[in-house]
Amino acid sequence: MKNFDLIIIGGGAGAFAAAIRANELKVKTALVNDGIPLGGTCVNVGCVPSKTLLYAGEILHHAKHHGVAGIELEVKNFDFQKVVQDELSLVEKLRQEKYEKVLKNLEFVTPIEGKAKFVSQNEVEVNGEKLSSEKFIIAAGSTATVPPIEGMREVGFVTHIEALKMSKQPRGLIVIGAGPLGLE
């Protein structure tokens, strides 16, 4: 069994901020992450990719509908797949620079990839190994919820996670949800 002063469950912005502070205080810490890669929702499947795609759409819209008399612009090419690939490359770059590189330099923080399961008040099990601590921070974030709408599973759907990685532009899209990710 490995013993830590602190175990942080999650790998997003909140968990990462806690890990940096724990390192500053020289607290022996385990950062356990599973699911969305290090960096959490914002950098991987939220703010960064959605705003990157929104910006591309805004540029395309302004080129077609600029409203300035006497200027005629023509969009010669719109490669949806290339725009999405650029977005995915930016996400990877930011994840590496802002999270992975920083984490490697945190002397008192041990990153562990895997799902944490509490087995007692002071222990979690990750990948079959027990970790113990008197203190835990649960910063596991959230996941997309698919509402129980009749027939939805039969016709198919994508969450924001799949939508941000589509290789083919859809003809149309219905968005269910009015949270930040749904609105973006």
Please write the tens of the pLDDT for every residue from 62-85.
998 988 999 988 888 999 999 999
Q: Give the H/E segment covering residue 130.
A: strand 129-132
Please write the tens of the pLDDT for every residue from 52-63.
999 999 999 999
Burial of 36: CB neighbours in 10 Å, binned 0-12, 13-18, 19+: buried
In whole angstroms, how large is the CA radius of gyration of the chain? Answer: 21
Please write the tens of the pLDDT for every residue from 11-41.
999 999 999 999 999 999 999 999 889 999 9
**Which CATH number is 133's domain given?**
3.50.50.60
- Total domain count, the chain: 1
What value does the mean pLDDT take over residues 103-129? 98
Helix (H, G, I), strand (E, B) or coil at 48: helix
Q: Which domain holds residue 59?
A: 2-183
pLDDT at 146 over 90: no
- Confidence band (pLDDT; 50, 70, 90) for 184? confident
Q: How far apart are CA 111 and CA 93, in angstroms?
A: 19
pLDDT of residue 13: 93
Helix (H, G, I), strand (E, B) or coil at 2: strand
